[in-house]
Amino acid sequence: MSDTPKSAFDPNPPRRNFYGRRHGKTLRQSQKGYLSEDLGNLRPRGITLQDNPDRKPVDPAGFFGDDRPIWLEIGFGGGEHMVHMAARYPQIGMIGCEPFMNGVASLLTSMAKAGVENIRIWPDDARVLLDALESASLSKIFLLHPDPWPKKRHHKRRFIQDETLDSFARLLRKGGELRIATDDADLANWMLSKTWRHPAFDFQAGCAADWRNRPDDWPETRYGQKQLAGRPVYFRFLRV
């Protein structure tokens, strides 16, 4: 992989299928209110060709109006982890990607209750955002409990792929951190093997406890507490 920054927008982007859900059960009226009133102001600008026709790389710090460190979470579920991190580290900016609108509504509700303002929301395919952001513009990336897609014929749908790791490597600053969690043993082996052999990432574990025990500032999410498939593992990689 080259360290040379790439263009934000590929003039001939690959065709990508989207496999996740976008809508679930009917939202409460209060949740609909948050979506209609707040989401538009928290959505990053300059990502699509409609609002960035010149295809310029997008500096995510601009979403917050300063040069603060930017952290990205992909697939934030109900948003518990994002709200916790945003409240604990008010000096950083959190960007969350989640196309499932029920999860977005839950996040907006939690943000209002917690009073956090350092979160921006991309309610669409995360890969679109990854393509648009400026190189070396992120300090941390989180991918927590992604869909394991357990059937072998569906493994191509898993989020961690060589192409995705190349995008993470491009976007993370040197010394930046990639955090991954799952309770699915097969997915854990998949993600660890692919990330381990990528030249841009260094696995941060000296013993089994380093990946079996959740870091102190890493709150457990409702999904993580369910442990549907087994005991969760918590992988940390540094961008070298």
Which is nearest to 96 in space by CA: 115, 83, 87, 109?
Answer: 83
pLDDT at 197 over 50: yes
CB 120 within 8 A of CB 96: yes
Q: Show the domain range for 128.
A: 58-239
For residue 221, what pLDDT is reported? 67
User: Which of the four pLDDT bands, split at 50, 70 and 90, describes residue 48?
Assistant: confident
The pTM for the full model equals 0.84
DSSP helix/strand/coil, 41 = helix
Within-domain flag for 35: no
Indicate whether 226 pLDDT > 80.
Answer: no
Task: Quote the CA–CA distance of 99 and 95 in Å, as a whole number.
Answer: 13
Q: What is the pLDDT of residue 227?
A: 53
Residue of higher predicted confidence among 29 and 178: 178
Tokens of 33: 């209110």
233: domain CATH number is 3.40.50.150
Position 228: which residue type? L
Weakest mean pLDDT among 26-35, 93-102, 186-195, 209-218:
26-35
Q: Does any domain span residue 24? A: no
pLDDT tens-place string over residues 159-193: 999 999 999 999 999 999 999 999 999 999 999 99
Percent of the chain with pLDDT over 70: 80
Q: How far apart are CA 141 and CA 95, in angstroms?
A: 10
Tell me the two tokens of residue 203. 């696995």
Whether residue 77 contacts residue 98, with contact meaning beta carbons closer than 8 Å, is answered with yes
Neighbours of 153 (CB within 10 A): 7
pLDDT of residue 37: 64
At residue 12, does pLDDT exceed 50?
no
Annotated catalytic residue, options 124, 147, 202, 210: 147
**Number of domains, the chain:** 1
Q: Which own/partner contact pairs does 192-200 have at CB distance under 8 Å and 24+ positions apart?
A: 192/235, 194/160, 194/161, 194/162, 194/165, 195/160, 195/165, 195/235, 195/237, 198/1, 198/162, 198/165, 198/166, 198/169, 199/1, 199/240, 200/1, 200/165, 200/168, 200/169, 200/172, 200/239, 200/240
Active site residue 59: no
Q: Quick check: is 51 in a domain?
A: no
pLDDT over threshold 50, residue 3:
no
Work out the end-to-end distance of the chain between its first and last CA atoms, rounded to an integer number of angstroms: 12
Average pLDDT, the chain: 85
Residue 230 confidence class, pLDDT cut points 50, 70, 90: low
Confidence of residue 42 (pLDDT cuts 50, 70, 90): confident
Assess if residue 101 is contained within a domain.
Answer: yes
- What pLDDT sits at residue 11? 44
Q: Is residue 140 part of a domain?
A: yes
The answer to the question of residue 38 being in a domain is no
pLDDT in tens, 126-161: 999 999 999 999 999 999 999 998 999 999 999 999
Among 51-65, 80-94, 221-235, name the one with the lowest average pLDDT. Answer: 221-235
Mean pLDDT of 106-117: 93
The answer to the question of residue 30 being in a domain is no
Residue 5 banded pLDDT, cuts 50, 70, 90:
very low
Structure tokens at 173: 């600053």
* Better-scored residue on pLDDT, 31 or 51: 51
